[in-house]
Amino acid sequence: MPQPAPTLDVEAVLAQLTLEEKAALTLGSDFWHTAPVERLGVPAIMVADGPHGLRAQMNEADHVGLSGSVPATCFPTASALGSSWNPGLFRRVGDALGAEAAACGVSVVLGPGINMKRSPLCGRNFEYLSEDPYLAGELATAMVQGTQSRGIGTSLKHYAANNQEDDRLRVSAEVDERTLREIYLPAFERVVKQATPWTLMCAYNKVNGTYASEHHWLLTEVLRDGWGFDGLVMSDWGAVHDRVAALEAGLDLEMPPNLEQSAARVVAAVREGRLAESVLDLGVRRVLDLVNRVRPALEAGGEFDEQAHHDLARAAALESAVLLKNDDAALPLRPAAGATVAVLGEFARTPRYQGAGSSQVNPTRVDVIFDELAARLPEGVELTYAAGFGIGTTEGDAELQEAAVEAASAADHVLLYLGLPAAAESEGFDRTHLDLPANQLALLSALHRVGIRPIVVLANGSSVRLSTWEHQAAAILECWLSGQAAGSAAAELVLGLANPSGKLAETLPVRLEDCSSFLNFPGDSGVVRYGEGIFIGYRGYDRARQEVSYPFGFGLSYTTFTVGDLSVRTSGSVADDDLEVQATVTVANTGAVAGAEVVQVYVSDLESSVARPVRELKAFAKVHLEPGESKQVSLVLDARAFAYWSTRHHDWVVEAGDFQVAVGTSSRHLVARERIHLEAPSVAPPLTADSTLQEWVADDRGRQLLSRLDVPILHDPELVRVIGTMPMRTLASFSGLLFDHGTLDRLAADLEG
């Protein structure tokens, strides 16, 4: 039996490396492998795409394309999994990904992706979890923990502000400090602090004019110094423009390697004194540390149970589906013997179950919807089929539509499978609209004209507009791109063999123009301005009081729930950094079938000095209940749940005052609220002669000093309101109005004293 290779003595290896070997170690050796140093026993390790299933390309493959990968379980895409709101499920899927990676000799799975859904047009939204950083961070944390529990690394991506595909390798995302800290960085921060991912992948784009691969503030000051990240930072494939600048910024590994130039430039920079060798050594240490971390799992190898993983993919698909509409309990479908069920839509025969681009998986098997329905329908029920439309083509649409209407007219129940074709959404380009293909909507309208309101089942990775056609459907089941078991999962959900429990992880707008990023997406001339600031997703819709088709957190069930008896208990304090606010509610299943409800806790700052969202998600829990069962759920919030990022303090701050803690089942269905008061140290800047009159009046000491002045104007609220925004120094210049400069100097001296 072979003995396991000894752990590398990193410092001893580092001491023996030549400068050329050091430079080589901070580059890959080919498209998917790090560089080996055989004379010192340093092996190459393999990385592979894998946010939704392993895409391991062995030997020669097209790399940029999608052929040649080994068979692996294709799990639901992130847009689907995010709708499960279930960290436990994420951990199980992460564990399965780790097992498959180990079996294939892969050391690092490149995922999960946790960029925010700033616009529903982003072509890669199917790879991302949510429009909300708290939800994305919690779910991704569980996936990273699951994969790394197998001794396989993950690569959290794409860091940061990578929220479009248009010009993604060059565009500069112009984002203010507060927006970065509150929206685009918190999911990364949460995963780094809670799950300690072994690697992190930088984004392609620039952030405020500097490439993410060369961004010292992002890669070192925030990530390492601020959050304590101790892993390796690798580039996205082709994201490095200046290898020396990237090393100095904190980028440890360039993938794939620019073998013709990068190593030579690093060596030259060290020899010419432009790059400290100690900086290069940091990158080398991190590569060697990663090799040490992954070797035990690779040497152990192993196999995975294809059937068990397929069953897990089905379980994930079941939890990811969101029941958006269900008029007159059209679902679940329970046809009696002798009934006819018409299945319409090419997707029922040619399923779309995964996204395109670097996350495309070679599945171990694929469940076809029509076949899975046929296998589960009661005996004596007839199943018919009509394509109704072509996918990616309009050829023969009139004949296909006519045949579909005829089949539907002869049936007792009609299931219509609609969705986005693969060409509509992918890595590499953004969408231009939110609509389903015209030939699909034409079929739905044709059915409506003859009085048929079908049950619509959707297959799409990114959100689609429903407002123009949802009235024509009796029920809408959003299944997203739900992996290789999509067919069997959809069949079980439609027939009531499983109960939908998914909740929207993103808002579905009435129209594209309602999105807060609409005027600033995707930018032009190499720049995209995040002009909407912190108000993306439900934060923007709620602030603008806009109607939406379906709100963030929404999802129906085949049973009913009540959420109530809210109690909120506060302990500790902001000042002592031990604040704890515990919200406790009772959840009850008041229906006739087992199901799961997601309890969501939102926080509102009722008297903030800065613009804040109407409410923000700060805690959630998915609760499984049998009919008639109830459970008490307690969710704990810390000070961060009440904080905003202060650009004055460059830190998270909590303002003293009243907050509302609300509990419900979506961002717009809050059934219980409680107001709490928090004391906190003052976050106001110190008073100076350049502070405004309002700021002096609002400050206890400033108000006391002003009260000593015998100035009648200060007792006129209307006048104070008019001049209150003027700095004190400016007011002192207005001769005879309030006070002169000498008086102001004395006030300032008294303030300091």
What are 481-507's pLDDT values in tens digits? 999 999 999 999 999 999 999 999 999
Least confident of 89-103, 241-255, 654-668, 727-741: 727-741
- Mean pLDDT score, 86-91: 98
The backbone torsions φ and ψ at residue 480, rounded to the nearest 5 degrees and listed phi first, read: 55, -155
Q: Are 288 and 10 in contact (CB under 8 A)?
A: yes
Predicted confidence band at 720 (pLDDT cuts at 50, 70, 90)?
Answer: confident
Beta strands 153-159 and 199-202 are parallel
CA distance 501 to 497: 13
Q: Where are the alpha helices (DSSP H) in 450-564?
A: 486-494, 538-543
Q: Are 714 and 708 in contact (CB under 8 A)?
A: no
* Per-residue pLDDT at 6 exceeds 80: no
Domain 311-550 listed as CATH 3.40.50.1700: yes
Enter the tokens of residue 316. Answer: 């994930």
Predicted confidence band at 735 (pLDDT cuts at 50, 70, 90)?
Answer: confident
What are 370-397's pLDDT values in tens digits? 999 999 999 999 999 999 999 988 889 9
pLDDT of residue 739: 84
pLDDT of residue 747: 87
Predicted confidence band at 1 (pLDDT cuts at 50, 70, 90)?
Answer: very low
236 is annotated as an active-site residue? yes
Predicted confidence band at 65 (pLDDT cuts at 50, 70, 90)?
Answer: very low
The architecture that CATH gives domain 45-258 is Alpha-Beta Barrel (3.20)
* Per-residue pLDDT at 3 exceeds 70: no
DSSP, residue by residue, 581-637: EEEEEEEEE-SSS-EEEEEEEEEEETT-SS---S-EEEEEEEEEE-TT-EEEEEEEE
Sheet holding 527-529, edge to edge: 210-211, 206-207, 172-174, 527-529
Q: Provide the residue ranges of all domains of the chain, joining segments of one domain with +.
A: 1-44+259-299, 45-258, 311-550, 561-678, 693-752
Q: Which CATH number fits domain 561-678: 1.20.1630.10, 3.40.50.300, 2.60.40.10, 3.40.50.880?
A: 2.60.40.10
DSSP, residue by residue, 403-418: HHHHHHHT-SEEEEEE
- Mean pLDDT score, 249-272: 97
Q: Are 367 and 350 in contact (CB under 8 A)?
A: no
Residues forming a β-bridge with 537: none
Predicted confidence band at 363 (pLDDT cuts at 50, 70, 90)?
Answer: very high
- Mean pLDDT score, 341-354: 96
Question: Of residues 68 and 90, which shows the higher confidence score?
Answer: 90
pLDDT of residue 4: 61
| Strand, helix or coil for residue 158 | strand
Predicted confidence band at 58 (pLDDT cuts at 50, 70, 90)?
Answer: confident
Give percent of the chain with pLDDT exceeding 90. 86
CA distance 318 to 290: 36
CA distance 36 to 518: 47
pLDDT of residue 736: 76
Mean pLDDT score of the chain: 95
CA distance 535 to 79: 20
Comparing CA positions, the residue from 123, 83, 126, 185 lying closest to residue 530 is: 185
Q: How far is CA 228 from CA 293, 653, 717, in A?
A: 18, 20, 50
Predicted confidence band at 67 (pLDDT cuts at 50, 70, 90)?
Answer: low
CA distance 307 to 453: 37
pLDDT of residue 5: 65
What are 506-561's pLDDT values in tens digits? 999 999 999 999 999 999 999 999 999 999 999 999 999 999 999 999 999 999 99
Comparing CA positions, the residue from 405, 406, 421 lying closest to residue 346 is: 421
The backbone torsions φ and ψ at residue 434, rounded to the nearest 5 degrees and listed phi first, read: -110, 5
* Per-residue pLDDT at 2 exceeds 80: no
**Residue 130 CB contacts under 8 Å (≥ 6 apart), including other chains:** 82, 116, 117, 136, 139, 505, 506
* Per-residue pLDDT at 61 exceeds 70: no
What are 684-717's pLDDT values in tens digits? 888 899 999 988 888 888 888 888 887 777 778 8
Among candidate residues 49, 132, 167, 236, the one labeled active-site is 236
In this prediction the pTM is 0.95
Q: What angle do CA 163, 164, 168 make, to 5 degrees?
A: 110
Q: What single-letter DSSP state applies at residue 531?
A: T
Burial 428-443 (b: 16+ CB within 10 A, else e): ebbbeebbbbebbbbb
The backbone torsions φ and ψ at residue 356, rounded to the nearest 5 degrees and listed phi first, read: -105, 165
Q: Are 660 and 606 in contact (CB under 8 A)?
A: yes
CA distance 281 to 23: 9
Give percent of the chain with pLDDT exceeding 70. 98
Burial 31-55 (b: 16+ CB within 10 A, else e): ebbbbbbeeeebbbbbbbbbbbbbb
pLDDT of residue 569: 98
